[in-house]
Amino acid sequence: MKTKAKIKGVKYKPEYTHPRYKVKLETPAGKELIIEFDYSDATGKKGYKPLGVQHDGEDMGVKLSWYSRQVEGMTVSEFLGILAFKVDKKYKVIS
């Protein structure tokens, strides 16, 4: 499971019902991408969902598909799932 972006920093917030993740990435273009996300288990919408996205200092709201589709070549949920797996592994979280 690889992403084209390099992880530069992470924050894991286990105090929420569904732990939240904040990941700082460097894109292949050398720009900064900061994503805060968590896992949603709402009926019919299970998976990782962005809560906030910043690209090179610009607030993108919760829109991430422009990046995950064009640069990473996968869905938002797949991309965030890979990031969550890496953060869980770093913090030794058992899922």
Q: pLDDT tens across 62-82, in order?
A: 999 999 999 999 999 999 999
The count of structural domains within the chain is 1
- Say how many C-beta atoms besides its own lie within 10 A of residue 85's C-beta: 13
Cα-based distances in Å from 87 to 29, 59, 95: 23, 23, 12
Mean pLDDT calculated for residue range 15-28: 92
Domain assignment of residue 1, yes or no: no
pTM metric for this prediction: 0.89
Is the pLDDT confidence value at 95 over 60? no
Residue 74 within a domain:
yes
Q: What dihedral angle (degrees, nearest 10) is formed by the CA atoms of 63, 71, 21, 1? A: 140
Average pLDDT over residues 36-41: 90
- The DSSP bridge partners found for residue 26 are 6, 32
86 part of a folded domain: yes
Q: Is 46 exposed, middle or buried (0-12, 13-18, 19+ CB in 10 A)?
A: exposed
Domain enclosing residue 78, as ranges:
6-91
pLDDT-derived band of residue 43, with 50, 70 and 90 as boundaries?
A: low
pLDDT of residue 94 exceeding 80, the answer is no
pLDDT for the residue 19? 86
Beta-bridge mates of residue 55 = 33, 58
